[in-house]
Structure 1
């Protein structure tokens, strides 16, 4: 049996992890037809079906999943070794494109971007801030910034900030005139300030305590799409809001707001900078990640992939 080539295995890994011939072809810089022929040849050489294909989808078979699980770390180690060789002595240049939400862009501008631009004047940084979650590979970005829970499973993630905690808040005046809130189900009897996500959907509030997870599509006459506005509305006595703690901290200290359901609001992993581990990491991105780690020495672990 002919031994599979490294290109064939990388092609399989890209298709199986992204579940799309089109996205994998764009990532690898080859045509979809060439990629399809390579995968057919790989399956024939191995004598086993690796992918289930339909006109609308592609997914790994059981054998494909086993191969992908073993193959992923090997390809990542190889990429890292090659990056170390090709980038030795190289000065980062060109354009580095990063897609981030507003909070992530703000953190980068405060702690990382000034150092990066001063140290690498030959790099043009294109930092796009938007709420919607995009496919960074498909849309041509080198990296993205989102909360850990939103990072795709096949990406390499680098912590940008510490844990984040979402809290339920309301004004003392509002709570004084309504029933107490002791469990998430009590929210169904309250006016809640709902959140519209960039996708257009309303956010369903998520709570967790001692292994019990609850998700609620809360009721309420007011829907907003900005955390600052939600905090403002809660302080005005319009209902209960659910926001990252940092947005409400000032008004909490001033006594304009109080929290409810504290024991149902544990901290979660925070913002991550993430990138595809299935292709060569550009020198500019590697330099950016190094500076990010300098700025956040307590947050240095890279995960997933």
Structure 2
């Protein structure tokens, strides 16, 4: 377990993140029994149960949820201060924890490969998930998301990776169906629908000359992962709405054909974001400097 002098608090945050004593113990490199003892000792001292435990699950109690929400930012600041005090020289060391959507980190992977080459003493721990989380509460140093999705209280560093979404279909599909000329034509097509992490079905977005549409497209197949959508489109099951980056190989090979391109201009892009604190850990500072150095080079 981390030797920060705050081991019981670290234990509580780890269990809260993983909803599991075993997974938390693995992260902290201690035995499950030692971790359970640390949490129980803290609960006894403060006189409140922080977790509701069963043989199959671990969940924060109401008191535990309030406790975690209160201590997470403070403990993060303490860790940061200790890292700053322990930074001798200019070579970053330690672990950099990043939270990102899957597609975003795939696009940014060349950046992290260069980062690891430059700073071999750094460890990078990347967790991917669809939903937007509180990176401070969950113990991350930074996140990567669409710039428009970055919380307003965070500092955002653009990654220089503009995005573009395309309507894509296979040549075989278009041999059986007419090519749509306007977004409204999609209402007469078979489309592959996307379910967002929130559970909501994504409405395809279009814009041209100030005219915009959000269309709840029809379809018999709904998926929640972009590579599966492209696979289904490649097989001729319908039209998909995916990023130009993720479909690059299919576009080059001609296995998928873009349509309605004049309605899907490039937009925004991805940003690395982190809490607007006074001190930034050396490892994160090094990543920010690398991003700025490579800005405009496509990362």
Please tell me the TM-score bracket, short chain as reference: 0.5 to 0.7
What SS does structure 2 have at the residue aligned with 1:133?
coil
State which drifts further: 209-218 or 170-179.
170-179
**Aligned residue in 1 for 2:95:** 95
Equivalent residues of 1:23, 1:137 under 8 A apart: no
1:198 shift after superposition: 2.6
Deviations 1:148-190 (A, max 9, x none): 2222233221122421110001123323433442221221121
1:244 shift after superposition: 0.2
Distance 1:24 1:273, change over 3 A: farther
1:205 shift after superposition: 1.0
Note if 1:151 corresponds to 2:131.
Answer: no
**Aligned residue in 2 for 1:172:** 171
**Aligned residue in 2 for 1:239:** 238
Aligned-partner Cα distance in 2 for 1:102–1:252 = 21
Aligned-partner Cα distance in 1 for 2:289–2:214 = 37
**Aligned residue in 1 for 2:253:** 254
Q: What is the 5 A alignment of 1:122-271?
A: 122-271=121-270
Aligned-partner Cα distance in 1 for 2:243–2:235 = 18
What SS does structure 1 have at the residue aligned with 2:271?
strand
What SS does structure 2 have at the residue aligned with 1:141?
coil
Distance 1:106 1:247, change over 3 A: closer
1:299 shift after superposition: 7.2
| TM-score, with length taken from structure 2 | 0.65
What SS does structure 1 have at the residue aligned with 2:245?
helix
Equivalent residues of 1:166, 1:245 under 8 A apart: yes
1:267 shift after superposition: 0.2
What SS does structure 2 have at the residue aligned with 1:144?
strand
1:118 shift after superposition: 4.2
Name stretches of at least 5 consecutive residues in structure 1 with no aligned partner.
1-19, 31-83, 301-305
Distance 1:118 1:255, change over 3 A: closer
What SS does structure 2 have at the residue aligned with 1:214?
strand
Distance 1:209 1:87, change over 3 A: farther
| TM-score, with length taken from structure 1 | 0.64
Distance 1:213 1:24, change over 3 A: farther
Q: How many residues align?
A: 227
RMSD value, Cα: 3.1
**Aligned residue in 2 for 1:112:** 112
Distance 1:98 1:235, change over 3 A: same
1:131 shift after superposition: 2.5
Deviations 1:81-135 (A, max 9, x none): xxx9x9895543332211122233334442334x433443443322212222222
Name stretches of at least 5 consecutive residues in structure 2 with no aligned partner.
1-65, 77-83
Distance 1:178 1:297, change over 3 A: closer
Distance 1:108 1:241, change over 3 A: closer
